[in-house]
Structure 1
Amino acid sequence: MAKILPFKAVRPTRDKVSLLAARSYDSYTPAQVESRLRDNPFSFLHIVNPGYKYQKEISGELRYSLVRNRYQEFKEEGIFMQEENQSFYIYKIVNRDGLEFNGIVAAASVADYENDIIKKHEDTLEFREVVFKEYLKTVGFNAEAVLLTYPDNKELEVIIDFVMQSRPEYEFTTTYRDTHYLWNVDDETILKKIQNIFSEMPALYIADGHHRSASSYLLAKDLENDNPNHNGSELYNYFMSYLIPESDLKIYEFNRLVKDLNGLQKDEFLIRLDAYFRIENRGMEYYKPSKKHHFSMYLDGEFYSLYLRKNNYEIKNALDALDTQILFETVLKPILGIEDLRNDQRIEYAHGKKDLAYVKTAVDSGNFAVGFGLLPVTTEELKKIADEGLRMPPKSTYIEPKLRSGVTVYEF
């Protein structure tokens, strides 16, 4: 059964939160990072990019120790404060598209991750797990929550609605036009009620943050081995998570762009595709698939619809039925020669918020030869993959909400 704990978050003061909160570092362009570091002394980016102070690129162990130093400076300067009581945090996001996400920031159990109560649907890269584990070990905090999802629960919905009747501790809108609200909950009765509800859930599912959760698991094992008095209650046995109901989860597709046709001429490529798909030329019509196992393709100035010939493709499990896997097994690997979806430089990915106009422009520019459009993975598919112990191909899902770093910090 799932175990979550309240914790004493380190968080920015109310007057600084809008200045401090930052998107994931990788989501900024270099120019955006530079402008924020230059113009906003309170940005969390100053913590994760400590070399800016010295106008120097710094990496490895030295960078980790400087991140720790910069974080301590923010605490010493009163930009961060420590919660007095163990708390859960009700966190609401209303994004620029009007979508609303309501969830709970809590500490999730490493033991649940190890025992598959917290279920995974995506493979991780070992070197990334190890690098981030070493980073966490040095800095001693986690500032970006793992996104977990749980089955819709009426009792939790009532509790969250009740808490949100009061004034939020934070209410701020970002330059990205998302509005964030946070309420801290330290009432013992409510805390126990929330914990009991989660304790009755057989499983939670990772929506976003597979590498972060894997790294937290590795860190806990390291620190357990280093601690002769380990008893299981230490803070390193948990990691910060943001838990939202399944109905709040928003999943977008990742479309595929390929730089060449693997030495094939256009007509040869189409003939090879015909073995697996019923193909229709849609001309300049922006064709977007509306059913599973249907795909959009943009090639040489024209759109095509591709409908899977099911008699030529065998579905044995939940992974086989996934459109990203079907495209890999029928097109990307056998025809275009792309076997390593993570590292092959001939393929790139564009999440569905960029739509098919982005795919068309990318191909028309000459940088790519062909683009493929897919339907989003559903929450049910995600759960079924995880339940069967399978793993999706990389870049199968682009999931919202996207949390800001530094709004709550979990120290261990």
Structure 2
Amino acid sequence: MAKIVPFKAVRPTRDKVCLVTCRSYEEYINAELAAQLDFNPLSFLHILKPAYSNQETVSYEKRYKQVSQKYQEFKKEFILVKDKKPAIYIHKIVTKTHSFTGIIVGTSIEDYNNDVVKKHEDILDFRVRLLKEYMNYSEFNTEPVLMTYPDNKTIENWIYNCTQKLADFEFSTTKKEIHYLWKIDDELEINWIQGIFEKTKNLYIADGHHRSEAAKLLSQENRDSKNTVKDYLLSYLISENNIKIYEFNRLIKDLNGLSKDDFLQKLNEHFIVELKNQQPFQPIEKHQFGMYLDHDFYSLILKPEHCVFETALESLDTQIIYKKILSPLLNIQDLRNDERIEYISGKQSMLEVKRKVDEGEFEIGFIMFPSNIQEIKDLADANLVMPPKSTYIEPKFRSGLVIYEL
């Protein structure tokens, strides 16, 4: 059963929160990043990348220690303040098109080890090691792992009642999002919601597999210590039907030496191929794919005789396109590292695929249908791994909003 715990979060003061919190470092283009670092001395970016201007010349260990030093400076200046009582936190994010509400807590590393917390993505060992060292030297974590739990009316009603009072934080971002945060530090109330989650059989990681594994390694290294804080993982728990899953569309730089006619002919073995000319084709259900090639759109529909699958992995559209097209026809074997393939989030218009092909950077583009939460759960329950770049999942959490000290 799932175990959750409250913790004493470090948070920006109410008057500074909109200036402190930031998106993930990688999301900023260079000009925007420079502007933030030059003109906003309160941005959490100063903590995340204190050596950004000369990163190539600074060792990882030195850089991580600089992160810790800058973090302590923010605390000494009372830009960041630690709560006096352990609490759990309700966080609501309102975007232009969606509203997400979840619970920020510590989840058990033991649950992660014992498969109470389910996984569905492969991980890169070197990235896990870097994240583990980052957390070890910085001694904090501000990027919670996004986990889902089954829809639960009791939890939904409790969240609704908690969010009727004035929020501890309410602020807007330059991306026109509104963020709310409520602190719940009443001991009886915390015990009650812990009891509800103890009846939950599994939690499912939606985003944050590398962070979870890094926290596991850190906990193992801490095994002989009395510091139990490292036995828990900063997590954002959200109802499984409250997340938004987008696809990743595929762009390929060449046809692997095939002519257009030969390639289309080979597609006919597994797909019903229909020319759409200039009419964009957006898949509306599983096993449908859009394709853009030589200034024309096509629809590809998997033939019924090929819709027989033995595992949850085989039925995934990202696996189908890999097994039927990318690997055998286009010789794309390594979906993560092959330089001939790139990915575009489904948050962007499908016409972005058209634009990149028309400009000659790529020769062909594939438009996918997004996976759903049940597919993720089926893979996790079967201990299977999704192909890389199968899903782009929201909500995305802002750094510096809630900090879990290690």
Same fold (TM over 0.5): yes
What amino acid does structure 2 have at the position aligned with 1:200? K
Determine helix, strand or coil for the equivalent of 2:349: helix
> 1:390 is matched with which residue?
384
> Structure 1, unaligned stretches of length 5 or more?
none
After TM superposition, the structure 1 = structure 2 runs for residues 299-310 of structure 1, keeping only pairs within 5 Å, are 299-310=293-304
After TM superposition, the structure 1 = structure 2 runs for residues 138-149 of structure 1, keeping only pairs within 5 Å, are 138-149=137-148
CA distance in 2, matches of 1:285, 1:329: 27
> 2:321 is matched with which residue?
327
> 2:58 is matched with which residue?
58
> 2:152 is matched with which residue?
153
> 1:174 is matched with which residue?
173
1:271 deviates by: 1.1
Residues 94 and 178, structure 1, Cα contact 8 Å, conserved in 2: yes
CA distance in 2, matches of 1:217, 1:115: 12
What do you get for the CA RMSD once the two structures are aligned?
1.3
How far does the alpha carbon of each residue in 1:126-176 deviate from its partner, in whole angstroms, 9 at most, with x for none? 110011111111111001111010011111111111111110000000001
Determine helix, strand or coil for the equivalent of 2:219: helix
> 2:70 is matched with which residue?
70
Assess, with a 3 A threshold, how the Cα gap between structure 1 residues 24 and 57 changes in structure 2: closer, same or farther: farther
CA distance in 2, matches of 1:244, 1:55: 35
What amino acid does structure 1 have at the position aligned with 2:268? D
What amino acid does structure 1 have at the position aligned with 2:61? E
> 2:26 is matched with which residue?
26
What amino acid does structure 2 have at the position aligned with 1:32? E
Residues 88 and 184, structure 1, Cα contact 8 Å, conserved in 2: yes
> 1:407 is matched with which residue?
401
1:54 deviates by: 7.9
CA distance in 2, matches of 1:31, 1:341: 30
Determine helix, strand or coil for the equivalent of 2:347: helix
> 1:247 is matched with which residue?
241
After TM superposition, the structure 1 = structure 2 runs for residues 321-360 of structure 1, keeping only pairs within 5 Å, are 321-360=315-354
Residues 276 and 313, structure 1, Cα contact 8 Å, conserved in 2: no
How far does the alpha carbon of each residue in 1:37-72 deviate from its partner, in whole angstroms, 9 at most, with x for none? 011000000001112588986341110000000000
> 2:183 is matched with which residue?
184
> 1:46 is matched with which residue?
46
Determine helix, strand or coil for the equivalent of 1:355: coil
Residues 37 and 52, structure 1, Cα contact 8 Å, conserved in 2: no
Determine helix, strand or coil for the equivalent of 1:337: coil
CA distance in 1, matches of 2:59, 2:23: 20
1:355 deviates by: 2.3
Assess, with a 3 A threshold, how the Cα gap between structure 1 residues 171 and 126 changes in structure 2: closer, same or farther: same
Q: Does 1:92 align with 2:92?
A: yes
> Structure 2, unaligned stretches of length 5 or more?
none
1:247 deviates by: 1.4
What amino acid does structure 1 have at the position aligned with 2:391? T
1:190 deviates by: 1.2
After TM superposition, the structure 1 = structure 2 runs for residues 63-142 of structure 1, keeping only pairs within 5 Å, are 63-97=63-97, 99-142=98-141
How far does the alpha carbon of each residue in 1:2-45 deviate from its partner, in whole angstroms, 9 at most, with x for none? 00100000011001110010111111112211111011000000
CA distance in 2, matches of 1:247, 1:387: 18
CA distance in 2, matches of 1:145, 1:380: 22
Determine helix, strand or coil for the equivalent of 2:301: strand
1:310 deviates by: 3.6
> 1:3 is matched with which residue?
3
CA distance in 2, matches of 1:398, 1:113: 22
1:311 deviates by: 2.1
CA distance in 1, matches of 2:135, 2:390: 27
Assess, with a 3 A threshold, how the Cα gap between structure 1 residues 13 and 54 changes in structure 2: closer, same or farther: farther
Residues 252 and 352, structure 1, Cα contact 8 Å, conserved in 2: yes
1:390 deviates by: 0.4
What amino acid does structure 2 have at the position aligned with 1:37? L
> 1:365 is matched with which residue?
359
> 1:198 is matched with which residue?
197
Q: How many aligned residue pairs are there? A: 406
Residues 256 and 348, structure 1, Cα contact 8 Å, conserved in 2: yes
Q: Does 1:266 align with 2:265?
A: no
CA distance in 2, matches of 1:295, 1:316: 21
Residues 96 and 176, structure 1, Cα contact 8 Å, conserved in 2: no
1:193 deviates by: 1.1
Residues 169 and 181, structure 1, Cα contact 8 Å, conserved in 2: yes
> 2:374 is matched with which residue?
380
What amino acid does structure 2 have at the position aligned with 1:160? I
Determine helix, strand or coil for the equivalent of 1:50: coil
CA distance in 2, matches of 1:263, 1:352: 28
CA distance in 2, matches of 1:359, 1:7: 44
CA distance in 1, matches of 2:331, 2:70: 46
CA distance in 1, matches of 2:297, 2:403: 47
Determine helix, strand or coil for the equivalent of 1:354: coil
